[in-house]
Chains A and B, each alone.
Chain A
């Protein structure tokens, strides 16, 4: 007996337990939906956030008591070995990691034949160093590294390579005066130099090498031009890496020479860097940015200016684009030196007291400011991956870690006009990648957001009138047996994959519309007119015939009318074309009206995406109108209002929140749609409202570029940001729509 009751109790308790478990399980499952949404939100945010992180520079190691005075310092790609060069041709390699950390591992003297009189380093990404001896002979070296695997362990071995040969190259200059200052740049087979002699004359020389057929040695020919136009104290000389421009900066002037043709070196621009000559402001430093399009000039009052050459309809010009100012403790003090990064537009400005400021030109941002050392920095360089800086000050070599992953992105840069290198003015540009390493990425979300709104607008222009009218008629006037057939048909329309709509729009509709453009316009005009004419004709038909068709079948009666009118409009199209547009509308638009015409344009997107949006608008609006209580409309009709008056004054007014939410939902769908815009437009990020041009939308942009973007790069994160923007936009729109709808539902439940 007791055992059965025990069993009963046991089963009772297990049942209750099961009930509890089910309750909590189901609740957890329900909350999970919320979690999924939050997860998407926070994950997108988590990927996007680092883009806006500030830069960070942090000292890692010091190597003290250097025995030499070094003129230049650099570090190899993995930040494992640093090397420093003296002006007299000694190259020292220091290990930074491993068991030899901090030690000198190799010291080599270069074979310069005689006394070295001048030394210079090339642009950082080339990694070349040049020496000139008393005989005006040039030797170019490159400290390099070899990876070996002794005992299966990776080991870096430093050595010095001579990319232009181990023997010196004569500049064929006047040997009476030695060269005491020079700067150089190289490309595959030529070297360009600006050199100053002890008689203070300055020359541009281009060395061109050619292989001797017999001895297989490279023979160099020099082509020199004296640059006579310079006045004032020369502070800095620079040669662009493609050898096409030479820059000479004096304490108040900037000279730009065209050196593309070494036999015809000419002065292109001569700009005054100091507006007010009476002020005692002076130019104190200058350097080329990565990519070598911009010159950064530093002044004694702590101001830095970016200058570059622009190319516009009015011709070429060399202009000041933007300026920066040292901040913090360094505010107002003189800029001592400017150090560019390898590939990006970040540069570092140092003062006499060892303060440094980190800037990025494209984003116009000051990224970091602080101090690496007390006192003047003798030499500094970024590591090739821009994740460290190495500097020498006070006989101490310092390595600092740099965290500066995304300097080119700022919130304002994404949404405001930015003046990019080579552009005649500030503009909104989206151009995320190119083949070259030192490309200035142009991340402006404005053109693609604009494209999104443009596409959505044209789609809504098409979808809202049709969707809403159809919904109103279906819900209010249509006979129930017709409605039973119409609603599922429109629902099927919603289910059609957008890839098919896009494919038809791009490959079928676009050529058809291009060929029948006048037909489309004709259709837009004829269709409403014929509908009204048909209605009038029907109105005047004898009642006998009218009564054969039940009420609410109007749209079925109109079906053949619409088909015939469309057919007519399209077959009349060639005639109209002949008559009004010289037989070719497309040519007429481009030549006579001067409007660009893309085959896949906004009109196509408007129609195709409108088609995708109509069912969304239709079904929500139809629900809203249909659920207006019949008592309201019956009351109105009883008071003598016509059907139409009742609809406009009573039904639509009551259903307006629902209609609003239908339009919002439709907008949300149009904004996020990907495949249709991807296939039915040319995907060019232009900003133009023209109906005959295409666009690139946020969503299509993600679909096109995401598979190719490098994980973790600024580009990748900005694409996530684009997704985040879409997410937030649709979130806001949908939440408002849903709120309005719920309010409406509550209102009806009380009616």
Chain B
């Protein structure tokens, strides 16, 4: 019994950590796709860029780890503004198929460029000592980096929720997404608003890629390989909300971990079965709104 309880604690912790990893790498997409309604499959490109910024700056400069995380956010957000003005903005009113084709093309280009610049090998993450090793809590030991990840994600979730639900900016974004023409006619500069929101989503993607780099290795094919996980989180969570992807990520994190622990021979495909079942049950996602 004690062994079972102790494994239950482990599964709960690792499930939470895995859910947070999934959320962290997908949260940027929850903003661009979930909030703005743009099917940005190239989300992983921004995450990969953030990851490379983190790994390169830790490897070649002496800036501390938290500063490298901030740098990943800021640099990716700034870079995305250029892309948004040049490319994305033209496709806001286009259909989903055009958006998907366009962003898939971006992925292939980014994969080739990353291979040219960084080579094909994975980029090493040099962590500072204070987030390495194990962390003792209630007489059990937990991996320190995952504790750190859960804490940072918690702060990020709170800040994002507050920003979207409780600030004037959040209200303007929600208004502009629901009815852009009406929002414009009441004097909201939707063009600037969308640029800023897109920058936020991309910055979060960069931050997620950087935070997750220790667990989900950064290498040129990252945007393609992780794509399925972002899409699962956002699709299961449902478009148009920030709460949905969080619940979806946690649900998948917990159940996937539990199954891999207790029934490892089925662990491989559970996440996909769960996705299919959930979407059959609720085609719009857990918290999706009919648009």
Tell me if chain B binds chain A: no
Which residues of A line the B interface, CB within 8 A? none
Which residues of B line the A interface, CB within 8 A? none
